[in-house]
């Protein structure tokens, strides 16, 4: 059974595994190979953002951004770095930990803001960038076909088609919204069986 008060992941190649723990009044963490435990009291948390952030090699990546009132943002991911282009997902453990964090923040009466998805400006920027990319891809396809490069156009269409479901999921899940910590919206956390 998953312990919802502990979660460990390796964010990337240059960071060792980090273990997070929830106490009655703080989020704590320790890094593998380093001494000392760091602590962020719940009362010092200003903002929590749950986001779906896929990449080419991590098509199901979710992040929790925890912004203290002062200091550096804490990023917790549902996956761990395993090797170049290889990640292991911890969806069940991640979702349980983030839900427990939200429950404890709500019980403590923390006056943080809870966001899902991108910021409004980030979302608009992503929509504009997506529209521009689609227009440029359309132009490239027209040019490739008019120059007689049929196979290159077909290969490009297959590659694009492979990423369309991820793009659609991202656009839907990145829509900005605020929420109550006791009612985490659909799409903010990875699905678990």
Query: Does domain 6-116 sit in CATH 2.30.29?
Result: yes
Distant-in-sequence, close-in-space partners of 130: CB < 8 Å, separation ≥ 6: 167, 171
- 102-118 pLDDT, tens digit each: 999 999 999 999 999 98
Confidence of residue 7 (pLDDT cuts 50, 70, 90): very high
The three-class DSSP label of residue 30 is strand
The tokens describing 77, both together, are: 């991911």
Beta strand 62-68 with 86-89 is: unpaired
Does residue 22 register a pLDDT over 80? yes
- Predicted TM-score (pTM) of this structure: 0.81
pLDDT for 13 equals 66
pLDDT for 133 equals 81
Does residue 57 register a pLDDT over 60? yes
Do 45 and 105 contact (CB within 8 A), yes or no? yes
- 136-184 pLDDT, tens digit each: 888 887 887 787 777 777 787 777 777 778 778 778 888 899 999 999 9
pLDDT for 99 equals 96
């Amino acid at each position: 059974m998953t312990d919802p008060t502990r979660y460990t992941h390796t964010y990337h190649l240059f960071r060792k595994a980090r273990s997070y723990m929830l106490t009655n009044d703080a989020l704590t963490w320790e890094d593998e190979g380093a001494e000392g435990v760091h602590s962020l009291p719940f009362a010092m948390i200003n903002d929590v953002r749950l986001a779906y952030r896929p990449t080419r090699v991590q098509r199901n990546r979710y992040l929790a951004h925890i912004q203290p009132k002062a200091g550096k943002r804490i990023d917790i991911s549902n996956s761990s770095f395993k090797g170049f282009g290889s990640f292991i997902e911890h969806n069940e453990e991640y979702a349980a930990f983030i839900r427990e964090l939200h429950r404890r923040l709500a019980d403590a009466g923390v006056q943080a803001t809870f966001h899902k998805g991108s910021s409004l400006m980030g979302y608009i920027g992503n929509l504009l960038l997506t529209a521009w990319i689609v227009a440029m891809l359309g132009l490239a396809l027209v040019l490739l076909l008019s120059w007689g490069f049929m196979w290159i156009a077909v290969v490009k269409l297959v590659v694009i088609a492979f990423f369309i479901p991820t793009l659609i999921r991202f656009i839907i899940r990145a829509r900005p919204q605020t929420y109550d910590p006791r009612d985490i919206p659909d799409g903010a956390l990875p699905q678990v069986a």
